[in-house]
Chains A and B, each alone.
Chain A
Amino acid sequence: MAIKKFMYLNRKASYGTVYAIESLEVVLIAAAFEQDVSLAFVDDGVYQIVEGQNTDGIGMKNFSKTYHALGDYDINKLYVSAESLEERGLTEADLMPLVYEDEDDDWAEKPSIKVVSNADLTKIMSEQDVCLSF
């Protein structure tokens, strides 16, 4: 099967709507088909990967831990909009330290998250074969 470049565009916070968890499900499916997957976190989507989520008080599953598993599925291109972070008073330090092991570099642990400008995102998006928005 030909490998295509898939981008998943995440624009909503977790828990308030079902988009975030549904996106995560579909991302894992694409990974199972060994596609070239990247994720973009834009607008309120940046809240999906904020560190320290605790859902005890709302009786919902805390699926933020699943983002840590993405590296094991060779999903290591997580682009975060710098502008979206700044608008919300967030910095990269507020995000989960998501990493992957680079098989081409003796399995060295490397960060998966890249904070990029919207202009960079424009370019990355234009290089995709498929872009799915959640």
Chain B
Amino acid sequence: MLHTVNKSSFERNSLQSCLNIIDDTSVILLIEDGVISAANNANSSMLAELATQGRVYALQGDVEARGISSKVADNIKLVDYAGFVDLVVEHGTAVSWV
């Protein structure tokens, strides 16, 4: 499954709620204010662990809009909108943690 998170983890607990529930094969795509959680210091240990497994993505346009490209953890993969579509196709059911 694909899980999208669009809220900053400093503002809401939607990322944590998602992390508490997802299974071992799911991937997370951080979008909108959710990309703030992709910045090194904003990472939870659970998200960092998923990132080392290559299961965390962030939408590049949202990262660049917030001027935090240089802060994103190395193992979080950046995708554009076409990449977003590919993730949806690849992982089937998408869950939006709004």
Query: Known: A14-B65, A16-B6, A53-B67. Contact between A89 and B40, CB under 8 A?
Result: yes
Q: Specify which chain B residues have a CB less than 8 angstroms from the CB of A94 in the assembled complex.
A: 67
Q: Specify which chain B residues have a CB less than 8 angstroms from the CB of A89 in the assembled complex.
A: 39-42, 71
**Which A residue's beta carbon lies closest to that of B42?**
A88
**Is the C-beta of A12 less than 8 angstroms from some C-beta in chain B?**
yes
**Which B residue's beta carbon lies closest to that of A47?**
B66
Q: Which of B17-25, B56-64, B85-93 contacts the other chain? A: B56-64
Chain B contact patch, size range: 20 to 34
8 Å CB contact of B36 from A17, A47, A51, A56: A47
**Which B residue's beta carbon lies closest to that of A58?**
B61
**Min CB gap A80→B, angstroms:** 15
**B62 near A15: Cβ-Cβ < 8 Å:** yes
**B68 near A47: Cβ-Cβ < 8 Å:** yes
Per-residue 0/1 for A77-108: is the Cβ within 8 Å of any B Cβ (1 yes, 0 no)? 00000000001111000100000000000000
* Residues of A bordering B, CB below 8 Å: 12-17, 43-44, 47, 50-58, 60, 62, 64, 87-90, 94
